Amino acid sequence: MSLPHVAIVGATGAVGIEMLRCLERRQFPVGQLTLLASARSAGKKLLFRGQEHLVQELTPASFAGVTIALFSAGGGISRDFAPHAVAAGAVVVDNSSAFRMDDRVPLVVPEINAADALRHSGIIANPNCSTAIALMALYPLHQVFGVKRVFASTYQAVSGTGAQAIAELAAQTRAWAAEARAWDDAKLATPPQVYPHQIAFNALPQVDSFLPSGYTKEEMKMEQEGRKIMHHAAFKASVTCVRVPVFRSHSIAISAEFEKPITAAAARAVLEQAPGLDVIDDPARQQYPLALDVAGRDHCAVGRLRQDCALDNGLAFWVVGDQLLKGAALNAVQIAELLL
């Protein structure tokens, strides 16, 4: 059997570049590689296994002969071009939110519901980044203790917004330092381009747009996507998503309420066996998961395990994951591995 012909749509983006690295690092059996982006990037070269590959402009005809197409160029591009890829015979793994809640499209975290991936009709969706990272710790606990609901706050890195947001945080931080400003004079005159407010030295309680309920779209994904991935229709999640001036890795503080009694020790025993997850939880030595340490790593990490003092059968914990990897590129490549 010939090796898969893999296409990456959005190959030049923050996630696309990581997809390329994941394919290489995990020795995915790539027969042929097609790198696609906008006309702006056509002609750029990206390295894969030591060889330069030309980036081409995405068109409806880009998918001839492609067997697996990893999409990461935004929901609009996925809606417009994924059907062309499927018509050409490819299986699409889509990183956008375009198809996640479509009943015909499996939404997959391989450590949780790998079997769902095989029931696809051409498209498989990759979950929201914070949801995937939260579920890496929540699902193993759910299997033993039965989760009812969670209250969560996210601390989301700027690379979750893409390459332009990374540049914006870097530029604002450099501008503040270059002007040798005092600590209490951190508000810059230059207006932000990507976020509605300055992100450097700030915390923005808005990720994505607001819904009539007052929650943002991002905040509702944990409940909606969590129900689908865990096959748990009654799961409830009240989430506040916050963008913080961190370059890479999302952190999430979760208070979860379970059907069965839970202790920190019992939770730790479960989480220590969970795939793709490290337990880093030694408060006496100030050891807990940190965005800077988890950045660039495939595993998510959980710590600060404690019995929640405000919930019955509750556990509070802190989970951190590299959202470019487990929240995007790595999860997509893991899904592609299920298709081999």
CB of 9 to ligand NAP, least distance (A): 6
Among 110, 140, 162, 321, the residue binding ligand NAP under the rule CB under 6 A is 162
Q: Which helix or strand (DSSP H or E) is residue 227 part of?
A: helix 217-230
Long-range Cβ contacts of 278-287 (<8 Å, 24+ apart): 278/302, 279/303, 279/305, 281/305
Which residue number has the CB closest to ligand NAP?
13
| Closest C-alpha among 221, 172, 217 to residue 194 | 172
Asked if 334 interacts with ligand NAP (CB under 6 A), we say no
Neighbouring C-alpha atoms within 13 Å toward the C-beta of 326: 30
Question: Is residue 172 part of the contact set for ligand NAP (CB under 6 A)?
Answer: no
- Using the minimum distance from each CB to ligand NAP, give the nearer residue, 140 or 327: 327
Residue 309 is a catalytic residue: no
Sign of CA dihedral 76, 77, 81, 83: negative
Nearer to ligand NAP, 12 or 216 (CB): 12
Beta bridge pairs of residue 69: 7, 92
Q: Is 321 in the site for ligand NAP (CB under 6 A)?
A: no
Closer residue to ligand NAP in complex, CB, 200/332: 332
Q: Catalytic pick from 120, 142, 250, 299?
A: 250
For residue 79, the SS3 value is helix
Which position among 5, 7, 41, 140 is part of the footprint of ligand NAP (CB under 6 A)?
41
For the question of residue 250 being annotated catalytic, the response is yes
Q: According to CB under 6 A, which residues from 114 to 133 bind ligand NAP? A: 129
* Rounded-to-integer distance, Cα 321 and Cα 297, Å: 8
Q: Choose which of 14, 107, 254, 316 interacts with ligand NAP (CB under 6 A).
A: 14
Q: Is 255 in the site for ligand NAP (CB under 6 A)?
A: no
Of 129, 142, 241, 299, which one is the catalytic site residue?
A: 129
**Binding to ligand NAP by residue 290, rule CB under 6 A?**
no
Which of 6, 7, 13, 155 contacts ligand NAP by CB under 6 A?
A: 13
- Which residue is it, tokens 């944990």? 222
At which residue do the structure tokens 């298709």 appear?
A: 339
| Distance of alpha carbon 304 from alpha carbon 325, whole angstroms | 23
CA–CA distance, 42 with 142 (Å, rounded to integer) = 46
In the bound complex, what is the minimum distance in angstroms from residue 238's beta carbon to ligand NAP? 22
* DSSP line for 236-266: EEEEEEEE-S-SS-EEEEEEEEESS---HHH
Give the binding range for ligand NAP (CB under 6 A) out of 34-42, 110-118, 173-181, 237-245. 34-42
Is 96 among the residues that bind ligand NAP (CB under 6 A)?
Answer: yes
Tell me if 263 contacts ligand NAP by CB under 6 A.
no
Q: Which residues touch 163 (CB under 8 Å, ≥6 apart)?
A: 12, 13, 14
Q: Which residues bind ligand NAP (CB under 6 A)?
A: 10-16, 37-38, 40-41, 58, 72-75, 77, 95-96, 129, 159-160, 162-164, 323-324, 327-328
Q: Which residues are catalytic?
A: 129, 250
